[in-house]
Amino acid sequence: MDAPQVGEFAHIGKSVVIKGELSGSEDLYVDGNVEGSIDLRNHSLTVGPNGNVKANVSAKAVVVQGKLDGSVNASERVDLRKSAVVNGDVTTQRIAIEEGAFLKGKVDIQKEAGRAAGLAST
Amino acid sequence: MASVSDNVMRFFRNSSNHTVTPAVPQKLTRRSSGMGEISRLLNSQDGLCVLDMGATSANNIRFFTNKGHKNYSEDLLRSSLDPALRMKDDSGNSVVDSKKFLDENLLYSNAQFDVVLCWNLSDYMEESLVKPTIDRLWSVMKPGGLLLAFFHTRDAGPDSICYRYHVTDTDMLEMQEVKFAPPGRPASDKQSPRLQRVFNNRHIENLFRDFASIKFFLARDAIREVLVVR
């Protein structure tokens, strides 16, 4: 995923540093540093190539191109792009991992009732 | 006026001049007796804990989670190359700090894993890390758990390619060359890790002497598969 157009996402630029609890009801693109926790419930989080997130993350969908230290709980799907470095456990229904992505942690695929869970490779 | 055959020949000559063959990475496969035995365990029980110590593989995560097992990924070879682990010994030589390595890696509860996939880690990892890593694995494995490791034979030669392994079927593996950029070098300078040593059977038995049993499978590709029971 390329960097989103302004207006589509809330955007945290690469020179921004945030420490604390981050929550919201819109999609979020993080290309800076976030330390704490991120809770987006029904929205998506994208960690950009310059992003460095040290937080437990809860969102509908999580896309990682940069670095993420912490557990990831995505109700729908997780995409680890080729430059992703993730240290933490991942809980989701679907996960896609590009060649070159690094994951250190547990992958727990949650099966939604009436729907087969899947894992997509790229 | 050119004949039909001339035009046909010209067409093929021209097309061959303009054909660009894309560089497709070669995919090799091998049958694995050790993986076959592990698959029998995976197929007979639910909810097992599997630790995969190779490079992160979507194939492997899919294979294990589709069977209802929990998959843990930890690319220990890549972690062992972290420049922050290097220190000087008494003689001033650069060595890897095995204590720091184990303080930062393989941090799991005792008796957590039913299956551990070491692949060819022991052959490519720095000497000082191999025994402490195997000892830590003994602690984090359940009694009766299975560990699969691959060891090169001398026939493999010092320039053997380091592969990562993707499980494609119960006893089939896809092999893909592993390359890392040396610390401080750009990604374009990726190199395949060097084979550090070749273990003979006695070395391997000593390495796993605390485990309950060990079984060797010899293959034609200069690899010994070793299946160890905790």
Whether residue B5 has pLDDT greater than 70: no
Q: Is residue B215 one of the residues assigned to a domain?
A: yes
Q: Searching chain A, which residue's CA lies closest to the CA of residue B113?
A: A106
Residues of A in Cβ contact (< 8 Å) with B75: 102, 104
The closest CB to that of A105, out of B55, B62, B72, belongs to: B72
Q: Is residue A3 one of the residues assigned to a domain?
A: no
Q: What is the C-alpha separation between A69 and A16, in angstroms, rounded?
A: 18
Find the domain containing B163 and state its range.
24-229
More confident residue, B25 or B126: B126
B82 pLDDT tier (thresholds 50, 70, 90)? confident
Q: Check CB contact of B56 with chain A, cutoff 8 Å.
A: yes
Residue A86 Cα distances to A18, A69, B62, angstroms: 19, 6, 18
Q: Check CB contact of A105 with chain B, cutoff 8 Å.
A: yes
pLDDT digits (tens, 9 = 90+) for B163-205: 999 999 889 999 988 887 766 677 777 788 888 889 999 999 9
Q: Is residue A30 one of the residues assigned to a domain?
A: yes
Residue B171 and residue B34 in contact, taking contact as beta carbons nearer than 8 Å: no
Whether residue B24 has pLDDT greater than 60: no
Q: What is the C-alpha separation between B190 and B36, in angstroms, rounded?
A: 33
Find the domain containing A57 and state its range.
10-109
The verdict on ipTM greater than 0.85 is no
B89 pLDDT tier (thresholds 50, 70, 90)? confident
More confident residue, A31 or B14: A31
Site of tokens 């972690």: B79
A114 pLDDT tier (thresholds 50, 70, 90)? very low
Q: Is residue B88 one of the residues assigned to a domain?
A: yes
Contact between B79 and A101 using a beta-carbon 8 Å cutoff: no
Name the 3-class secondary structure at A84.
Answer: coil
Whether residue A72 has pLDDT greater than 50: yes
Nearest to B30 by CA among B175, B160, B156, B177: B175
Q: What is the C-alpha separation between B113 and B142, in angstroms, rounded?
A: 6
Whether residue B20 has pLDDT greater than 70: no
Q: Is residue A4 one of the residues assigned to a domain?
A: no
Contact between A121 and B62 using a beta-carbon 8 Å cutoff: yes
Alpha-carbon gap: A3 to the closest alpha carbon of chain B (Å):
22
Q: Residue B23: what pLDDT? A: 53
> How many structural domains is chain A composed of?
1
Residue B148 and residue B208 in contact, taking contact as beta carbons nearer than 8 Å: no
Alpha-carbon gap: A7 to the closest alpha carbon of chain B (Å):
33
> How many structural domains is chain B composed of?
1
Find the CATH number of the domain harbouring B139. 3.40.50.150
Burial class (CB in 10 A: 0-12, 13-18, 19+), A66: buried
Site of tokens 């090799």: B28
Q: Check CB contact of A104 with chain B, cutoff 8 Å.
A: yes
Q: Is residue A50 one of the residues assigned to a domain?
A: yes
Percent of chain B scored above 90 by pLDDT? Answer: 53
Alpha-carbon gap: A28 to the closest alpha carbon of chain B (Å):
26
Name the 3-class secondary structure at A93.
Answer: coil
The closest CB to that of B74, out of A97, A104, A108, belongs to: A104
Contact between A95 and B79 using a beta-carbon 8 Å cutoff: no
More confident residue, A46 or B193: A46
The closest CB to that of B65, out of A102, A103, A119, belongs to: A119
Ranges A66-80, A81-95, B176-190: which has the least confidence: B176-190
A9 pLDDT tier (thresholds 50, 70, 90)? confident
Q: Is residue A119 one of the residues assigned to a domain?
A: no
A116 pLDDT tier (thresholds 50, 70, 90)? very low
Whether residue A90 has pLDDT greater than 80: yes
Q: Is residue B128 one of the residues assigned to a domain?
A: yes
